[in-house]
Amino acid sequence: MTSPPLAALPFVSPSGLPEVLGLLADRSARGDETVLLAGGTDWYVDRQARLPLPGLPLVVDLTRVTALRAIDLHGERLVLGGATTYEDLRRSPVVSSRAPLLARMAATVGAAQIQARGTLAGNLASGSPAADGVAALAALDADLVLASREGERRVRLADFYTGYRRSVRRPDELIARIEVALPGLPSRQAWRKVGARGAQAISKVALAGMAVVEEGRIARIGLGMASVAPTTSFLPSVRALALGRSPGELSGSALDEATGRDISPIDDVRSTAAYRLHVARALVRNFFASLG
């Protein structure tokens, strides 16, 4: 059994956010399935593996909702609309200067066509543990602003996922914005993606890192690692080990032990658990060595 052809699905293209939120509220109250479509880079692939559901989901095209696609700097807070694409991140002078790891990550996501279509909110909502965008936002300790007809609520990215591809987002909500408290200048930011190829590959392991070093000690640390657990790992043990210490105090063995506690890699078609553990430890070591 396969999913119904795209032409069979009911489709609407609202021009404003209130209309979208009204649709979500009414349909979720009835238990009707709704697909929010921006780039569609995950959904078009995922739907091929799904069994048909009773009835047909309504596809809500978000490309005309311009309020969801903006990059703004409010003081020391970076605000990204949910429909911000990877190309938007890569081309933004604000992102390149203040959150360069986001720009570096965006340049490694798929091909140019994926970068032009894929969105941050789509990456977050899909919930893949291999999601590059989620790992980069984890290193910056992002907040998500979820919008519904009833209003908005703020959720820390660290609290967003409840399990593999599961989150606290309700059926009547969408991810309207992503907000990041920018690190002080200067900050050290890094992105490293290890895959089967240099480009257009899903990561075997990816690490995003951000650190602020003041008077020789790590005053702020952020880490996000993809493809090593059911959800993106924030590497809490590594963070706790590093915070307040000088980079030179952090031994390789201590970093290896903390990394091992924070991840639970598996064998799959892309790699093995042993290889992922080895690479994860090497990436963490290299990041902290770069701070010295």
pLDDT value at residue 56: 76
Enter the tokens of residue 224.
Answer: 């996000």
Enter the tokens of residue 113.
Answer: 């066509």
pLDDT value at residue 49: 54
User: Taking residues 55-73, what's their average pLDDT?
Assistant: 91
Q: What are phi and psi of 68, to 5 degrees?
A: -90, 0
Q: Which residue has the higher pLDDT, 91 or 44?
A: 91
The single-letter code of the amino acid at 164 is Y
Please give the Cα distance from 210 to 188 (Å, whole number).
6
pLDDT value at residue 201: 74
Helix (H, G, I), strand (E, B) or coil at 11: strand
**What are the pLDDT digits (tens) for 178-233?**
999 999 878 999 999 998 776 667 889 999 999 999 999 999 999 999 999 999 99
Q: What are phi and psi of 152, to 5 degrees?
A: -120, 150
What is the rounded radius of gyration, in angstroms, for the C-alpha atoms of the chain? 19
pLDDT value at residue 3: 60
**What are the pLDDT digits (tens) for 39-56?**
887 776 676 655 454 567
Mean of the per-residue pLDDT values of the chain? 92
Containing 79, the helix (H) or strand (E) segment is: strand 77-81
SS (H, E, C) 176-242: EEEEEECCCCCCEEEEEEECCCCCCCCCCEEEEEEEEEECCEEEEEEEEEECCCCCCECCHHHHHHH
